[in-house]
């Protein structure tokens, strides 16, 4: 049986600080900006706020390259601002969780600087540094952002360090107990400060197999995917168990893991009652349609039956093993509405449908900033408008594969991480009200139509729909059913219909969505007590047959 936890009934929200709200007119979002918007989040119904990294960083990977774990980057504010954010959140019964990025740090972190100064010394052992003879690198692994994982150690002709992400993100060597101890010390320092927990970044990468393993090349660059490394690494559980016992467990902290793995025992090991984390993200929908050759071969839109199969698959594997976290997007993914609904069908009705089928699943809903407004992908017109290092690399991969510049750009665009990273749309004034200066990344021109000022308080807006979904989830009458009720697919074989029961101890709900633009009929299982939510003004019922126009979704109490 799943042990109940305080956070199960909460709703979480991810803030990408650089793009949320700029308080001081430098074009970059900051902590003071976040504080000024806490009431907005409270109004939506948010309880837990995950902050993408705000630590000191050269921002080579937008803060996921940390140069000082104990300080706030001046661009985001000061430690006083952080203390104020914690205080203001607490006053509103909200919890702040930080991003824990400990697979790697920044090459500008003093550990790495010292390692460069003395590779054989204490800090050299914090990293993977190897002496290379005759130019033969220790392995042929390809970093996530392209090229070899090996880079020359500054100041040394014959030494290389390993980075599975950007070359400005040297991997920390978790085999070294001293390094692990430093990481735990830092985690506890933040927990002492009052953060409620962490989102745990790229965690599957901390365990490496023998680093002298060469894998069969899978592209013309002669390199092999890092997936090989993840698959072959044995023993990550010991690290994660130790980390939990030395840190989170002592503070009853909330943790959500960014776990990408094919391990059949993953759910039990990571989020079971004795799992390493409180919860982890379900990435089954985001991974659908992906291709190992690169983004240019991935499928831009995943919808209808594919989305349903992924969501139901996770729920089935999960059963009562643990509590998953559900998302439609994050700062690494395209906007959910653009990814899971064909462009020609994109409107408030279809956006509300996607919101309902996702939020009503069993699990902790995580909303990514702007999702609650129905923010969409961006019509970038040139690769020069893209800041994201991953998109820049994938663009090169597409060019190498023989696509023209124009083809390559359009092939990678649907997956660009910058789609979700453009500034938040607060209103329809200049720069969407995000900043009074030039924003660090362009604003999506559709802010004039899609913005918070227009939607908050407008009854039929996407924002109000999210607010209603969240409040239904918290409603004392339905809470037990929506938080803990079983998910049982209904008419799973009916095409482009996504319907499921939520069966609680004393109530049963039916979520039914027509996941396509054409009308379709749904035979209901019997009579129902009432309609709890409906994204259309009409309900076309004929006996027990519901005639559903395209993208209608209803939540019925049976
Ligand atoms: O992402 C880790 C990750 O595994 C990548 O697959 C990521 O989804 C991919 O690079 C997208 O192109 C985490 C963070 O969420 C991401 O923003 C960071 O870049 C990465 O770790 C390194 O810290
Ligand atoms: Ca600012």
The residue whose CA has the least distance to atom 11 of ligand 1 is 332
* Ligand whose nearest atom lies closest to the CA of 52: 1
Instruction: Give yes or no for residue 101 CB within 6 A of ligand 1.
Output: yes
Instruction: Give yes or no for residue 182 CB within 6 A of ligand 1.
Output: no
Give distance in angstroms: CA of 331 to centre of ligand 1.
Answer: 9
Query: Which band of pLDDT confidence, cut at 50, 70 and 90, is reported for residue 332?
Result: very high
Query: Which band of pLDDT confidence, cut at 50, 70 and 90, is reported for residue 27?
Result: very high
How do the domains of the chain map onto residue ranges? Answer: 12-104+178-386+424-462, 483-557
Question: What average pLDDT is seen over the chain?
Answer: 97
Instruction: Give yes or no for residue 478 CB within 6 A of ligand 1.
Output: no
Work out the average pLDDT over 432-451: 98
* Ligand whose nearest atom lies closest to the CA of 419: 1
Work out the average pLDDT over 174-194: 98
pLDDT of 1 above 90: no
Work out the average pLDDT over 40-63: 98
Instruction: Give yes or no for residue 202 CB within 6 A of ligand 1.
Output: yes
Neighbour-count burial of 445, counting CB atoms closer than 10 A to its CB (0-12 exposed, 13-18 middle, 19+ buried): exposed
Give distance in angstroms: CA of 497 to centre of ligand 1.
Answer: 32
**Is 320 in the active site?**
no
Q: Which helix (H) or strand (E) holds 336?
A: helix 336-340
Name the residue with tokens 């709900």: 509
In the β-sheet with 159-162, what is the strand arrangement from edge to edge? 129-131, 159-162, 150-152
**Is 258 in the active site?**
yes
* Ligand whose nearest atom lies closest to the CA of 18: 2
Half-sphere exposure of 49 (CA within 13 A, CB side): 30
Closest ligand 1 atom to the C-alpha of 415? 12
Are β-strands 159-162 and 254-257 bridged in parallel, bridged antiparallel, or unpaired? Answer: unpaired
Both tokens assigned to 72 = 């706030």
pLDDT of 330 above 90: yes
Instruction: Give yes or no for residue 162 CB within 6 A of ligand 1.
Output: no
Instruction: Give yes or no for residue 390 CB within 6 A of ligand 1.
Output: yes
Q: Which helix (H) or strand (E) holds 484?
A: helix 479-484
Separation of CA 534 from chain center: 28
Task: Identify the sign of the CA torsion 70, 73, 76, 81.
Answer: positive
Digit-coded pLDDT (tens) for 253-270: 999 999 999 999 999 999
Half-sphere exposure of 467 (CA within 13 A, CB side): 17
Domain 12-104+178-386+424-462: give its CATH superfamily: Glycosidases (3.20.20.80)
Contact between 225 and 148 (Cβ < 8 Å): no
What is the C-alpha end-to-end distance of the chain, expressed in Å? 26
As a whole number of angstroms, the distance between CA 43 and CA 423 comes to 20
Domain 483-557: give its CATH superfamily: Golgi alpha-mannosidase II (2.60.40.1180)
Are β-strands 520-523 and 545-548 bridged in parallel, bridged antiparallel, or unpaired? Answer: antiparallel
Catalytic residue among 258, 285, 394, 468: 258
Half-sphere exposure of 358 (CA within 13 A, CB side): 32
């Amino acid at each position: 049986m799943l042990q109940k936890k305080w956070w199960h009934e909460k709703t979480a929200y991810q803030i990408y600080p650089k793009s949320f709200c700029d308080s001081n007119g430098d074009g970059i979002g900051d902590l003071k900006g976040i504080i000024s918007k806490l009431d907005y989040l409270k109004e939506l119904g948010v309880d837990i706020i995950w902050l993408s990294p705000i630590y000191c960083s050269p921002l080579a990977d937008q803060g996921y390259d940390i140069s000082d774990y104990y300080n706030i980057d001046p661009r985001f504010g000061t430690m006083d601002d952080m203390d104020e954010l914690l205080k203001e959140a607490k006053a509103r019964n909200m919890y702040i969780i930080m991003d824990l990025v400990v697979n790697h740090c920044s090459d500008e972190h003093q550990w790495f600087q010292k390692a460069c100064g003395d590779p054989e010394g204490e800090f050299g052992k914090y990293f993977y540094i190897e002496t290379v003879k005759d130019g033969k690198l220790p392995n042929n692994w390809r970093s996530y952002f392209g090229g070899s994982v090996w880079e020359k150690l500054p100041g040394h002709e014959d030494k290389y360090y390993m980075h599975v992400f950007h070359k400005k993100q040297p991997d920390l060597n978790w085999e070294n107990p001293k390094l692990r101890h430093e990481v735990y010390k830092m985690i506890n320092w933040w927990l002492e400060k009052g953060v409620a927990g962490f989102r745990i970044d790229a965690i599957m990468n901390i365990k490496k197999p023998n680093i002298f393993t060469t894998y069969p090349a899978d592209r013309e660059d002669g390199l092999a995917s890092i997936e090989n490394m993840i698959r072959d690494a044995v023993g990550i559980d010991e690290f994660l168990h130790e980390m939990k016992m030395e840190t989170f467990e002592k503070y009853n902290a909330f943790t959500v893991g960014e776990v990408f793995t094919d391990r059949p025992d993953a759910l039990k090991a990571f989020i079971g009652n004795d799992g390493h984390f409180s919860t982890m993200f379900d990435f089954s929908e985001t991974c659908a349609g992906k291709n190992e050759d690169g983004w240019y071969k991935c499928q831009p839109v995943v919808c209808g039956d594919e989305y349903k199969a992924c969501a139901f698959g996770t729920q089935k594997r999960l059963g009562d093993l643990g509590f998953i976290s559900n998302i439609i997007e994050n700062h690494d993914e395209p906007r959910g509405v653009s990814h899971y609904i064909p462009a020609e069908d994109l409107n408030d009705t279809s956006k509300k449908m996607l919101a309902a089928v996702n939020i009503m699943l069993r699990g902790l809903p995580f909303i990514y900033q702007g999702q609650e407004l129905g923010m969409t992908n961006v019509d970038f017109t040139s690769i020069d408008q893209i800041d994201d290092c991953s998109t820049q690399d994938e663009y090169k991969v597409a060019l190498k594969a023989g696509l023209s510049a124009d083809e390559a750009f359009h092939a990678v665009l649907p997956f660009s991480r910058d789609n979700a990273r453009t500034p938040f749309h607060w209103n329809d004034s200049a720069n969407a009200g995000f900043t009074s200066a030039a924003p660090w990344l362009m604003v999506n021109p559709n802010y004039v139509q899609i913005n918070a000022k227009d939607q908050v308080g407008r009854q039929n807006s996407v924002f109000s729909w999210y607010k209603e979904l969240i409040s239904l989830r918290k409603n004392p009458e339905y809470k037990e059913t929506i938080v803990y009720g079983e998910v049982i697919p209904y008419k799973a074989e009916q095409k482009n219909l996504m319907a499921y029961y939520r069966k609680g101890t004393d109530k049963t709900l039916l979520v039914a969505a027509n996941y396509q633009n054409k009308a379709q009929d749904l035979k209901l299982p019997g009579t129902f007590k009432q309609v709890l939510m409906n994204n259309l003004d009409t309900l076309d019922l004929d006996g027990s047959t519901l005639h559903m126009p395209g993208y209608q979704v209803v939540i019925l109490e049976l």
